[in-house]
Amino acid sequence: MSINQKSLLIVFAYLAFYPTAVFSQISMQQSEHLLTSSGLNSLATSTPGCDGETTSGVSVQRVKQPFADCNSISSCKTANTIGAVDHATATFTCKDNTCYTWRLVSRATIGGVAYEVWHDDVGLTWSARIINGSTQTFNWCHASGANNGVGNAYASNDPNDYCDSSSYQNQTNPISLCKEENYSEVLYAKNSKGGLGGWYLPTVNDYLLARKHGIRRVLGDMNNEWTSTVYGDDTRYAWYFGSGGQFDSIYNRNYYYYVRCVTAVVVP
């Protein structure tokens, strides 16, 4: 194995364990974390959605509607079971004839808004949408935590001058909606994460796998959510997960869209 091949393996391993390092710590000029349109089409075809779609979405209905607040899988099941009907466990068969199961990890009703955290059957847990007061949409820099502040976590140069600009990111105390930093966990994301840690902004691959396993049947508010994956042909843009379960659009990273986080930590 050549030195270059060994270097690439190290980079891939790093990204697998630290997917928040989209611009930070590894230069965004490297192509391993970028995705072109042709690359996306290939990924989408190999991981079709629960209802058989590839890049074009179809409408789906939510299969379960929890009604009681809770803070663990066991307590959620107990609190959300009426008779023999468990509203905290979503089990269904997709068009690939595979049965998938999602479990409610936590639910908190705050200000009339129900924040639900769900665990899939491949070991990932998905947060509720990040909401800060009346603010529900954020730019990509805030979602990912990317910045170029001296001494800050994930600081790196943004060649498009988005995330290293004070117009789109606080360079002194950067906003990082998914990654646990004291300022973001307390001010922005506490209600949406169910007390868990290890969160990061999902990649396109995370969303594709979750779509294959029926995430839109479980979370009823999936709609135009940022991914951490940058468009390979023009790094001004990043991919987002559309309301129909597709990735057929990219947007400037300074635009404002919804944010949801994912973690692989063991759930209670």
Q: Which two tokens stand for residue 232?
A: 């390979």
pLDDT (mean) for 213-241: 88
Residue 240 scores a pLDDT above 80: yes
Residue 151 clears pLDDT 50, i.e. is over it: yes
**Phi and psi (nearest 5°) for 149?**
-75, 140
What pLDDT does residue 4 have? 44
Distance CA 87, CA 76 (A): 9
Amino acid 45: pLDDT: 62
258 pLDDT band, cuts 50/70/90, is very high
Q: What percent of the chain has pLDDT over 70?
A: 72
Residue whose C-alpha is closest to residue 210's, from 154, 126, 141: 126
250, 63 in Cβ contact below 8 A? no
Residue ranges in 170-250 assigned as alpha helix (H): 182-184, 204-212, 215-218
Residue, of 60 and 256, whose pLDDT is higher: 256
Range of lowest pLDDT (23-27, 131-135, 183-187): 23-27
Reported as a single tens digit per residue, the pLDDT across 152-198 is 766 888 888 899 899 999 888 888 888 765 544 555 567 788 888 88
Q: Mean pLDDT across the stretch 195-219? A: 88
What does the alpha-carbon distance between residue 70 and residue 109 come to, in Å, rounded to a whole number?
Answer: 10
Residue 148 has pLDDT above 70, yes or no: yes
Only one residue has tokens 């997917």, namely 19
> How many whole angstroms separate alpha carbon 61 and alpha carbon 41?
25
Q: Does the pLDDT value for residue 30 go beyond 70?
A: no
Q: Average pLDDT, stretch 194-216?
A: 88
Q: Indicate if the alpha-carbon torsion angle 62, 74, 203, 7 is positive or negative.
A: negative
The residue that leads in pLDDT, 129 or 22, is 129
CA–CA separation, 54 vs 208, rounded Å?
9
* pLDDT value for 8: 36
